[in-house]
Amino acid sequence: MVSPAIALAFLPLLLTLLIRYRFYMVLLYRAVLVRWVQDWLTGLTREERAFQYVLTHATPGEPDTILEAFDSWCNNVEYISHIGPRKGKILDRLVVETAPLVVLELGTHCGYSTIRIARALPVGARFITVEMDERNARVAEKIIRLAGYDDDMVELRVGSSEEVIARLREDLGVERVDLVFMDHWKRCYLPDLQLLEASGLLGRGSVLLADNVLFPGAPHFLRYARACGLYTLRLHRATLEYAQGIRDGMAQLEYHGVKIDT
């Protein structure tokens, strides 16, 4: 049995750890513990619960109201990890500035970032979004159609990012991707980037934006982007979506096609 004296000796250390990591503990509570409880109570996934909320708080055919409903849910009800409104503005600006004709999104999840991209695309642009989880994909499709985007405007593909990238040229007729947004499994960032390169789908001026490269983090992806000499890298520093005090960032890469001095 631990004596009171020993317990008191460890109290300052415990308090220090609680203060230093309080934001991560709040995130653990909101993202994991609350989710487990609600999954058990409702029999629905977190994404399905979010859809029910959006359905009753947004206006069909008005993308902005859907995004606002999502933001309200994530701030006040349950936590969902998608790009969020602050980092979302960086994505919005990038879509407008690049005016891409072909966009590939890896990690549709609920369709939040899909809607942000779709509403800023030029007329006639092709947009392919990829989601591996079939249950999440069903939710995302409902959200995307609720926003007013049909199959001709947003093509939702269910499968792993690796499988879809490998089929883009041969099965889907894609010769080049102008903008890639990565927000799926962080361990897939680097292999998917290299697969895009090997498939010849990136051309000079193609832009990639990868979310959460600092938290949870994609260190191998960042290291490669800095060292390979094929990209100009810009790091957008921010905080984690719908969370306080947790530093995060997005990596913006512009492809040059030949090695450049770094």
Annotation says 75 is catalytic: no
Catalytic residue among 47, 186, 192, 248: 186
| Rounded Cα gap, residues 124 and 133, in angstroms | 28
Please indicate whether residue 136 is annotated as part of the active site.
Answer: no
Q: Among this protein's residues, is 248 annotated catalytic?
A: no
Task: Indicate which residue of 131, 183, 192, 248 is catalytic.
Answer: 183
Rounded to whole angstroms, how far apart are CA atoms 2 and 113?
A: 51
Which residue out of 212, 254, 259, 261 is catalytically annotated? 212
211 is catalytic: yes
Q: List, as own/partner pairs, every contact residues 187-195 make where C-beta atoms lie below 8 angstroms and the sequence separation is at least 24, other chains included.
A: 187/218, 188/106, 188/161, 188/162, 189/213, 189/218, 189/220, 189/221, 190/218, 190/220, 190/221, 190/224, 191/162, 192/106, 192/161, 192/162, 192/165, 193/221, 193/224, 193/225, 194/224, 195/162, 195/165, 195/166
Query: Could you say which of 47, 131, 141, 211 is catalytic?
Result: 211
Q: Which of 47, 78, 241, 248 is catalytic?
A: 241
Active site residue 186: yes
Other Cβ atoms less than 10 A from the Cβ of 68: the count is: 16
Question: Could you give the residue numbers annotated as active site?
Answer: 183, 186, 211-212, 241
